[in-house]
Copies of this chain bind each other. A is one copy, B any other.
Amino acid sequence: MKKVLVTGCSGFIGNYVVRQLLKNNCQVIATSVDEGKARHHDWFPLVTWVPFNLQKDTDVGVFGQPDAVIHLAWEGLPNYKSLFHFEENLPAHYHFLKSLIANGVTDITVTGTCFEYGMQEGMLREDMPALPANPYALAKDTLRKFLSELQKLYPFDFKWVRLFYLYGEGQNPNSILSQLQKAIINKEPAFKMSGGEQVRDYLPVEKVAENIVKVALQNTITGIINCSSGTPVTVKQLVQNYLQENNVSIPLQLGFYPYPDYEPMAFWGDNTKLKEIR
């Protein structure tokens, strides 16, 4: 039975990753800054809970000797433009993971972001250069590079899962499908959105968690791995699909919000590498 440490387990993705690990008969060591939120989940009695604040605590011995780590924790989202990401998070997370490695961990899976590709358009492949264009993406990309240098000195299996877009129960209330649900519930006359022509890559959070766990529990495919559907979809189409699947309707007020300036108009992830994992 594999012992897996999951950080950020009370976050949107963390909740699903813990579930997926339990489904895979793993022993889960779970941590997060928000113990109260973690306690609300039905899986809480099934995991070994270890309170830990990686911005302050330094003794990673409290986690025992996990066989693998899935590092999901990341503070300060979704404020992508704050310098906090590289000024505070980057050193804290780097030293946390380095301490785990120094403590004997040999298998690390960390979630990155499609924003590491920056303003590059089209189908994004893992071997393209990272060109992060905001402090959040820069901090993540730099963390990956620091760990890659560390790996040359202290060998460990290193898997970096670049997340694209995801949706599902528990997501950020500012995300588009949450806003859409709210508009429907509030019987608003129309759903205010951007032009909707931007092309993205979406996966349901359950599928994302399944992918992360699949990546974490093997050691054949390592390095950067896109966690994406591989199927581009416009945001307008995403919204229309949701309305159709849930058998609801609301007029779309397209063009109400401007397109965000920190993302290219059209990008999606090549998921060939992900699909190679058995």
Show the binding face of A for B, using Cβ within 8 Å: 81, 83, 86-87, 91, 94, 129, 131-132, 134-135, 138, 142, 145-146, 149-150, 152-153
Residue in B86, B145, B149, B152 whose CB lies within 8 Å of A149: B86
Are A83 and B150 also in contact (CB < 8 A) when A91-B91, A131-B129, A145-B132 are? yes
Interface majority SS (helix, strand, loop, mixed), chain A: helix
Contact A86 B131 (CB under 8 A): no
- Closest chain B residue to A153 by CB distance? B83
Q: Which of A81, A131, A149 has the most CB of B within 10 A?
A: A149
Contact B138 A149 (CB under 8 A): yes
- Closest chain B residue to A118 by CB distance? B129
* Pairs across A and B, CB under 8 Å, 9 listed: A83-B153, A86-B146, A91-B91, A129-B129, A129-B131, A132-B145, A134-B149, A135-B149, A138-B149
Residue in B94, B138, B152, B153 whose CB lies within 8 Å of A146: B138
Closest 4 pairs (CB-CB, A-B): A129-B129, A135-B149, A142-B142, A138-B145
